[in-house]
Structure 1
């Protein structure tokens, strides 16, 4: 995985908001009738509406999150659905924690 893409993906308030919304799809998108938001993902149109941004704008943000591996995008009929990838996100957070950890000096014996 290209860590630079992952770092870039989470440097936007909009993309962070998307990740937070997708963390609780049933809470934020329970009104989605076309597919179960937890099992299938959330329609891009509903994400754009929740953020009050144009669909092309949200599409660009979602594409970067997809490239980072943080979400998957699945097409069904004329809609595209997004779902958070918890394993990839946790792997990134673990990596970031290791990268930012302060190394303790080794004890002399």
Structure 2
């Protein structure tokens, strides 16, 4: 996995907010009628509405999160649904923790 893409994805308040919202999809997107938000994912349109941004803006944020591996995108009919990839997020956080810990342990300046 490209760590620089993951770091860039996490270095944005809107993208962090998207990941926070997708952590509890039924709570934040329970009104989604087209598919179960927890099992199938959340429609991009609803994510744009939750962030109060345009569809093209949310699409750019979601694409970077997808490239980083933090979300999966599933197309169904004319909609695209996004879901967190918990294993990828956990792997990134483990890597980050190791990097920070290694730096602290070896950096005695």
TM-score of the superposition, structure 1-length normalised? 0.94
Q: CA RMSD in A?
A: 1.2
Question: How many equivalent pairs are there?
Answer: 105
Q: Deviations over 1:37-61 (max 9, x none)?
A: 0000000000000000000000000
Higher share in helix: 2
Structure 1 unmatched ranges of 5 or more: 105-109
Matches for 1:1-109 after TM superposition, within 5 Å: 1-101=1-101, 102-103=104-105
Which runs of at least 4 in structure 1 moved beyond 2 Å after TM superposition? Answer: none
Question: Please, which runs of 5 or more residues in structure 2 have no aligned partner?
Answer: none
Higher Rg: 1
Query: What's the TM-score, normalizing by structure 2?
Result: 0.94
